[in-house]
Amino acid sequence: MVAGKEFSWEDISTPDFSNPARVAWRQAVAEIAARAKAALPETVHGRLEKAVAIVLTGEVELLEGGQARVASQSNGTTQYVVCNGSCACHDFPKSPEGWCKHRLSAALYKRASPLARAKLEAATTRQPEAPNQPAPAVPDTPGLPEGLKPFIVTLHGKRALHQQHDTKE
Protein backbone atom coordinates (compact mmCIF):
# COMPACT_ATOMS: atom_id res chain seq x y z
CA MET A 1 0.00 0.00 0.00
CA VAL A 2 1.43 3.39 -0.99
CA ALA A 3 0.13 5.32 2.05
CA GLY A 4 2.53 3.46 4.35
CA LYS A 5 5.48 3.86 1.98
CA GLU A 6 8.59 5.36 3.49
CA PHE A 7 10.49 7.73 1.24
CA SER A 8 14.07 6.71 0.57
CA TRP A 9 16.72 9.18 -0.47
CA GLU A 10 16.81 7.43 -3.86
CA ASP A 11 13.05 8.02 -4.30
CA ILE A 12 13.13 11.73 -3.61
CA SER A 13 16.56 12.70 -4.98
CA THR A 14 16.29 11.08 -8.38
CA PRO A 15 17.09 13.45 -11.26
CA ASP A 16 13.85 12.32 -12.91
CA PHE A 17 11.67 15.38 -12.27
CA SER A 18 8.52 13.42 -13.11
CA ASN A 19 9.16 10.79 -10.41
CA PRO A 20 5.91 10.80 -8.37
CA ALA A 21 7.73 10.33 -5.05
CA ARG A 22 10.07 13.25 -5.74
CA VAL A 23 7.21 15.49 -6.85
CA ALA A 24 5.07 14.59 -3.82
CA TRP A 25 7.98 15.12 -1.41
CA ARG A 26 9.03 18.51 -2.81
CA GLN A 27 5.43 19.74 -2.94
CA ALA A 28 4.82 18.63 0.64
CA VAL A 29 7.99 20.35 1.90
CA ALA A 30 7.07 23.56 0.04
CA GLU A 31 3.51 23.49 1.42
CA ILE A 32 4.64 22.93 5.01
CA ALA A 33 7.30 25.65 4.64
CA ALA A 34 4.68 28.11 3.38
CA ARG A 35 2.48 27.31 6.38
CA ALA A 36 5.44 27.77 8.72
CA LYS A 37 6.31 31.09 7.11
CA ALA A 38 2.77 32.32 7.68
CA ALA A 39 2.76 31.17 11.31
CA LEU A 40 6.26 32.04 12.50
CA PRO A 41 7.76 35.49 13.11
CA GLU A 42 9.44 37.18 10.17
CA THR A 43 12.78 37.06 12.01
CA VAL A 44 12.77 33.28 11.48
CA HIS A 45 12.17 33.31 7.70
CA GLY A 46 15.87 33.21 6.75
CA ARG A 47 16.39 30.20 8.99
CA LEU A 48 13.29 28.61 7.47
CA GLU A 49 14.74 28.88 3.96
CA LYS A 50 17.93 27.19 5.20
CA ALA A 51 15.83 24.49 6.87
CA VAL A 52 14.06 23.77 3.58
CA ALA A 53 17.46 23.27 1.94
CA ILE A 54 18.53 20.91 4.73
CA VAL A 55 15.35 18.84 4.33
CA LEU A 56 15.53 18.71 0.53
CA THR A 57 19.16 17.56 0.60
CA GLY A 58 18.28 14.61 2.81
CA GLU A 59 20.08 15.82 5.91
CA VAL A 60 17.32 14.96 8.44
CA GLU A 61 16.83 11.58 10.06
CA LEU A 62 13.93 10.83 12.40
CA LEU A 63 14.93 8.87 15.49
CA GLU A 64 12.90 7.02 18.11
CA GLY A 65 11.06 9.02 20.73
CA GLY A 66 10.26 11.98 18.48
CA GLN A 67 13.90 13.00 18.15
CA ALA A 68 15.58 13.97 14.90
CA ARG A 69 19.21 14.08 13.80
CA VAL A 70 20.00 17.05 11.58
CA ALA A 71 23.29 17.64 9.79
CA SER A 72 25.17 20.89 10.12
CA GLN A 73 25.39 22.97 6.95
CA SER A 74 28.70 24.52 7.98
CA ASN A 75 30.51 21.36 9.09
CA GLY A 76 30.08 18.12 7.16
CA THR A 77 30.77 15.92 10.19
CA THR A 78 28.63 17.66 12.82
CA GLN A 79 25.09 16.54 13.54
CA TYR A 80 22.60 17.92 16.02
CA VAL A 81 19.90 15.97 17.82
CA VAL A 82 16.66 17.91 18.08
CA CYS A 83 14.70 16.69 21.08
CA ASN A 84 11.68 18.18 22.85
CA GLY A 85 11.98 21.43 20.91
CA SER A 86 15.63 21.87 21.86
CA CYS A 87 18.86 21.81 19.86
CA ALA A 88 22.49 21.90 20.96
CA CYS A 89 23.66 24.17 18.12
CA HIS A 90 25.19 27.59 18.82
CA ASP A 91 22.25 29.42 17.21
CA PHE A 92 19.49 27.83 19.33
CA PRO A 93 19.90 30.08 22.41
CA LYS A 94 19.92 33.29 20.37
CA SER A 95 17.29 32.38 17.74
CA PRO A 96 13.75 33.76 18.16
CA GLU A 97 11.80 31.37 20.38
CA GLY A 98 14.52 28.75 19.82
CA TRP A 99 13.72 28.35 16.11
CA CYS A 100 17.19 27.44 14.84
CA LYS A 101 17.41 25.94 11.34
CA HIS A 102 17.94 22.45 12.80
CA ARG A 103 14.76 22.59 14.88
CA LEU A 104 12.88 23.99 11.87
CA SER A 105 14.30 21.22 9.65
CA ALA A 106 13.10 18.52 12.03
CA ALA A 107 9.65 20.11 12.24
CA LEU A 108 9.39 20.45 8.44
CA TYR A 109 10.45 16.84 7.91
CA LYS A 110 8.00 15.47 10.50
CA ARG A 111 5.08 17.38 8.99
CA ALA A 112 6.00 16.88 5.33
CA SER A 113 6.35 13.09 5.54
CA PRO A 114 2.65 12.22 6.06
CA LEU A 115 1.57 14.95 3.63
CA ALA A 116 3.91 13.60 0.95
CA ARG A 117 2.55 10.08 1.44
CA ALA A 118 -1.00 11.40 1.04
CA LYS A 119 -0.02 13.34 -2.10
CA LEU A 120 1.70 10.28 -3.56
CA GLU A 121 -1.32 8.11 -2.85
CA ALA A 122 -3.63 10.69 -4.46
CA ALA A 123 -1.35 10.92 -7.51
CA THR A 124 -1.28 7.15 -8.00
CA THR A 125 -5.06 6.72 -7.72
CA ARG A 126 -5.96 9.59 -10.05
CA GLN A 127 -6.61 9.27 -13.79
CA PRO A 128 -3.66 10.27 -16.00
CA GLU A 129 -3.83 13.80 -17.37
CA ALA A 130 -4.52 14.46 -21.03
CA PRO A 131 -1.16 15.02 -22.78
CA ASN A 132 -2.20 18.08 -24.85
CA GLN A 133 -3.18 20.43 -22.05
CA PRO A 134 -1.96 24.04 -22.39
CA ALA A 135 0.78 25.14 -20.01
CA PRO A 136 -0.64 26.66 -16.83
CA ALA A 137 -0.11 30.31 -16.03
CA VAL A 138 2.51 31.01 -13.39
CA PRO A 139 0.72 32.38 -10.33
CA ASP A 140 1.77 35.63 -8.72
CA THR A 141 3.61 34.69 -5.51
CA PRO A 142 4.74 37.94 -3.89
CA GLY A 143 6.72 37.56 -0.71
CA LEU A 144 7.64 33.90 -1.21
CA PRO A 145 11.34 33.08 -1.09
CA GLU A 146 12.79 32.52 -4.54
CA GLY A 147 13.70 28.94 -3.60
CA LEU A 148 10.06 28.01 -2.94
CA LYS A 149 8.47 29.58 -6.04
CA PRO A 150 9.20 26.62 -8.39
CA PHE A 151 7.44 24.26 -5.98
CA ILE A 152 4.38 26.47 -5.63
CA VAL A 153 4.27 26.93 -9.41
CA THR A 154 4.38 23.16 -9.87
CA LEU A 155 1.60 22.62 -7.35
CA HIS A 156 -0.51 25.42 -8.84
CA GLY A 157 0.11 24.21 -12.38
CA LYS A 158 -1.07 20.68 -11.60
CA ARG A 159 -4.14 22.04 -9.85
CA ALA A 160 -4.91 24.26 -12.87
CA LEU A 161 -4.60 21.31 -15.25
CA HIS A 162 -6.97 19.22 -13.16
CA GLN A 163 -9.51 22.03 -13.01
CA GLN A 164 -9.40 22.32 -16.82
CA HIS A 165 -9.73 18.56 -17.18
CA ASP A 166 -12.67 18.39 -14.73
CA THR A 167 -14.63 21.11 -16.55
CA LYS A 168 -14.42 19.27 -19.91
CA GLU A 169 -16.18 16.15 -18.62
Confidence band of 27 (pLDDT split at 50, 70, 90): very high
pLDDT at residue 20 in the model: 84
Domains of the chain: total? 1
| Mean pLDDT of the region 31-60 | 95
What's the confidence (pLDDT) of residue 14?
Answer: 55
If one compares 6 and 153, the residue with the highest pLDDT of the two is: 6
The reply to whether 21 falls in a domain is yes
Q: Is the pTM of this model over 0.85?
A: no
Q: What is the pLDDT of residue 167?
A: 44
Q: Is residue 131 part of a domain?
A: no
| Mean pLDDT, residues 14-30 | 82
CA atoms of 35 and 12, how far apart (whole Å): 21
In a domain, 165, yes or no: no
146 falls in which pLDDT band (50, 70, 90)? low
Residue 47 lies in a domain: yes
The answer as to whether 159 is a domain residue is no
Q: How far is the C-alpha of 1 from the C-alpha of 8, rounded, in Å?
A: 16
Mean pLDDT of 158-163: 41
In this predicted structure, the answer to whether residue 51 has a pLDDT above a threshold of 70 is yes
CA distance 37 to 24: 20
> Considering the domain boundaries, does residue 127 fall inside one?
no
Domain encompassing residue 15: 7-117
Strand order in the sheet with 60-62: 60-62, 68-71, 79-82
pLDDT band at 93 (very low <50, low <70, confident <90, very high): very high
Q: Per the domain annotation, does 124 fall within a domain?
A: no
